[in-house]
Amino acid sequence: MGVVMRASALLIATVLLFSPEGWAQDERITIEGLNDPLEPSIQIYSYRFKKPDVIYPGEWDLFLRAFYSKEEKAFTGIQVYITTNSLDWRLLRHARYLDGGKLREVEVYEIGTGEVDCSRGYCSHYETVGFNVTEAQLRRWAQQNEDVRIRLISRIDSRDMRLPVEEIRVFLQAMDHIRNSQN
C-alpha cells in the first residue's frame, strides 16, 4: 500500500509540474511529497540525472538532494551525495572544492557503508557519503561554464569527481518551482 501511495504521489507531482503556470519537470529530477498532505516536507533528488552505473571499482556517482519544509516554507537542507566503489574501504573523511574561487574543505558524513560484492572475482566496497551545501553555493556553481570539481579525501588517498553544471542548473529550477508553488 505504501509503495502504491508513493507512486501515486510521484505521479501527481509529475502531472502538476506540467501545468501552464509551472515548470515542466525534467524527468531526471525526482520530487516526492509535493501533494501528499501526510508528508511534512518535499524532497528533490537528482539521482536519475545521467549517471554511470557504479559497478566496477574506481567508479563513482554524485547527486543532489534538498528538503523543503512545508511548515517553515523554506529549504531546510541541501546536500551533495557521493557513492564510490573501491577494492578496499576508503573511509572517506573530507571533500574539497572551489566556491567563488575560494578553496573549501568540509567533513563528509557517512550515509552508507558495508555493502560488499565479491561476485566478480574481486570485492567491490560501496560507500556513500554526503556534505551540506547552501543554495547560494549552488547558484554560484550554476554560473560556471564548467562542471564542479570535487575532491574526496580518504584515509589513504584522494579522488576527483565532477558534478555537472547542467545538473545543478536543472536542480535549481526544480527548487525555484517548489518554492514558488508553496508560497
Give the confidence band of 13 by pLDDT, cuts at 50, 70, 90. Answer: very low
pLDDT in tens, 112-135: 876 787 887 888 888 889 999 999
> How many angstroms separate the Cα of 95 from the Cα of each of 172, 176, 181?
22, 27, 33
Asked whether the beta carbons of 124 and 116 are under 8 A apart, the reply is yes
- Mapped onto helix, strand or coil, the DSSP state of residue 139 is helix
Enter the C-alpha cell of residue 136: 547560494
Write the pLDDT tens digit of every residue in 18-67: 333 345 567 788 899 988 999 999 999 987 776 555 555 666 678 899 99
- Does residue 59 or residue 176 have the better pLDDT? 176
pLDDT of residue 2: 40
Q: Rounded CA gap, 111 and 7, in Å?
A: 24
User: What average pLDDT does the segment 76-84 reach?
Assistant: 91
Domain count, the chain: 1
Residue 160 to residues 62, 81, 86, 109, 148, Cα–Cα distance (Å):
12, 14, 14, 18, 10
How much is the pLDDT for 123? 81
| Rounded Cα gap, residues 9 and 69, in angstroms | 17
Give me the domain span that covers residue 16: 2-182
Q: Would you place residue 159 in the very low, low, confident or very high pLDDT band (cuts 50, 70, 90)?
A: confident
